[in-house]
Structure 1
Amino acid sequence: MNASTSHPLAPAPRTFGEAVQRARSDPGYGAFLLLRIGFTVLPIAFGLDKFTNVLTTWENYLAPWIADLSPFSAHQTMWVVGVIEIVAGLAVAVKPRYAAFVVAAWLAGIVINLLSYPGFYDVALRDFGLMLAALTLGRLALAYDPAWHRHTVAARNLSAA
């Protein structure tokens, strides 16, 4: 790390302008910020579209065996998927350190779904790439997003000592 880059554990920027400035001077933080924005906005957008089907008819992407397992219709199952995707996007916005790995696991499930029947192998490959990007966000978040700590009496006593 040279003088023009900030330390990964430096305090988080308080404003959007500070975040942009840090992204310009620290390429690792820039990658973290881009992935965080992407994995916040896109899952929310795709989740909302599960209710409107503007982009596509989402039920077509649901493997028949998964539709058979669901207690809901394929259309209703995709509504549940939409809610999960919206929550995942919001979770990445709040705490990417943990949520990125949840999103990666979700994408792994989507890849398995798409590989389990013919016709969507290209989409499965794309989603595999997104899964790798989510794992990358998680790894970067370990450096750029501070952990949540329990505030126990023992921890407070140790920090006071």
Structure 2
Amino acid sequence: MESSTIRSTATRPLLEGPGRQAFLLLRTVFTVAPILFGLDKFTNLMADWTIYLAPVATSVIPLPAQTIMYAVGVVEIVAGLTVAFRPRFGSLLVAVWLFGIIINLLVLGAFFDVALRDFGLLVGALALNRLSPGKLR
């Protein structure tokens, strides 16, 4: 049996049934959530996002906290769109981004519950990566 035949039959179950449903659910969540949260960095309707920024960030990047949040918003929107169109790469981008958020929250010394939630999201982003068809390019 050829290696390509083995490879295609080994990945087929992930592309059908429950695996496909899990992929679609995760891709949808990791597309919509970052875009919505990214857009909210410009309006602060859901939260005052600057309270989640560790003070060390503004000492390293000498900009007002809200200006940093605008940049964060752009990155989150781009990450969500990347998940939509290139889920295998986008899921890794989201996972790395979530890792950075977790580190920021731990440095802040507060919002440990949010850091734990974000760790769960990071694991979900890695699961999306494993379920995503295709190769990284």
Same fold (TM over 0.5): yes
Bigger CA radius of gyration: 1
CA shift, 1:72, in A, is: 1.8
Q: Which moved more, 1:65-74 or 1:87-96?
A: 65-74
Is the CA contact (8 Å cut-off) linking 1:9 and 1:146 kept in structure 2? Answer: no
CA distance in 1, matches of 2:46, 2:68: 17
Is 1:39 aligned to 2:30, yes or no?
A: yes
* Equivalent in the alignment of 1:139: 130
2:69 alignment partner in structure 1: 78
Report the AA paired with residue 134 of structure 2: P
- Does the Cα contact within 8 Å between 2:98 and 2:119 map onto a contact in 1? yes
Q: Deviations over 1:114-144 (max 9, x none)?
A: 0112221110000010000001100111xxx
User: What pairs up with 1:1-161 in 2 under 5 angstroms?
Assistant: 7-8=12-13, 26-141=17-132, 145-147=133-135
State the TM-score, normalized to the length of structure 2.
0.87
CA distance in 1, matches of 2:58, 2:111: 16
The two structures have a TM-score, normalised by structure 1, of: 0.74
* Number of corresponding residues: 127
For the Cα contact (< 8 Å) 1:28–1:140, is it kept in 2? yes
The runs of at least 4 aligned residues of structure 1 exceeding 6 Å deviation read none
RMSD over equivalenced CA pairs, Å: 1.7
> Does the 8 Å contact 2:14/2:20 carry over to 1?
no
SS in 2 for 1:7: helix
Percent identity between the two aligned chains:
54
CA 1:61/1:30 → structure 2, altered by over 3 Å: closer, same or farther? same
1:116 alignment partner, SS class: helix
RCO (CA 8 Å, sep 6+): is it higher in 1 or 2? 2
CA change 1:84–1:42 in 2 (3 A) is same
Q: 2:82, 2:13 → 1: CA distance?
A: 21
